[in-house]
Amino acid sequence: MSEYTQKYAFVTGSSRGIGRAIALRLAAEGYHIFLNCARSFDALEETRREIETIGTCTLVPGDIGNPDTVRKIFHTIAKTCDHLDVLVNNAGISHIGLLMDMTDEDWDKVLSSNLSSVFYCCRAAIPPMLSHGSGRIINISSMWGVNGASCEAAYSASKAGVGGLTQALAKELARSKIPVNALACGVIDTEMNKQLDEEERAELAEDIPAGRFATPEEVAEMVWKLICAPEYLTGQIITFDGGYL
């Protein structure tokens, strides 16, 4: 039996919802988790306290849409470990409205939060993964990146970009045995969908063949399955939507 080696994972946007569920799932599997968010610091502290009942973690808050912030975060990570075993790019925001009404600032904020952040974190994580000869990257995307949503043009474009980045990067890293995959989520029961009233929620659930929203814990379980999958599984955009598309 080989000696136990601590494993490390960085989960962006891990203060609540999908990111929190992923962080808790990986902590339960023995990973030391680097926890991140840009704004919800009280919620991030709550996630930290819950993880510390079962494992260990380090807070690395900050806006990962800012490349300087990402450099600082990875400098902190490097003080703890020589490489990440898992990078989960989960952080993201939505914007609902007509494209013609979007401001330059609205567009830039969505693209920065949802797409540029993935690029910045991958760029920082890859060199030590290559040096170590292992690592896994999982990008949390959306079914609207596969099939765009009305009144969510910027969000759809950003998530489509995540898909393209995932597939291109997977080809770059395949010979280095670093799988890169994306999970294109459908309707998940998170804060992002709390703006819907009960009638709207019921109508949306009716449109989903599975008849319900998914839970963040179900997404976390899919992420764990991707982490455990053979490394030959790479460059995939796996749609997790209850049969919606």
Q: What is the pLDDT at residue 3?
A: 54
Where are any strands of DSSP class E within the chain?
7-11, 31-35, 57-59, 86-89, 136-142, 180-185, 237-240
Q: Which of 8, 31, 120, 155 is catalytic?
A: 155
For the chain, domain boundaries: 7-239
Q: Which residues have C-beta within 8 Å of that of residue 3, sequence separation ≥ 6?
A: none
Per-residue pLDDT 10s for the chain (245 aa) are 345 799 999 999 999 999 999 999 999 999 999 999 999 999 999 999 999 999 999 999 999 999 999 999 999 999 999 999 999 999 999 999 999 999 999 999 999 999 999 999 999 999 999 999 999 999 999 999 999 999 999 999 999 999 999 999 999 999 999 999 999 999 999 877 777 788 888 999 999 999 999 999 999 999 999 999 999 999 999 999 999 98
Catalytic residue status for 155 = yes
Alpha-carbon distance of 27 to 7, in angstroms, equals: 10
The amino acid at residue 120 is Y
Give me the residues paired with residue 184 across strands: 141, 239
Q: How far is CA 153 from CA 22, 93, 160, 234, in A?
A: 27, 13, 10, 27
Alpha-carbon distance of 124 to 77, in angstroms, equals: 11
Alpha-carbon distance of 85 to 189, in angstroms, equals: 28
Q: How far is CA 15 from CA 6, 45, 195, 216, in A?
A: 23, 8, 19, 12
- Going by C-alpha positions, the residue among 193, 188, 212 that lies closest to residue 202 is 212
- The CATH classification number of 7-239 equals 3.40.50.720
- The angle at the Cα of 40, spanning 34 to 43, to the nearest 5 degrees, equals 70
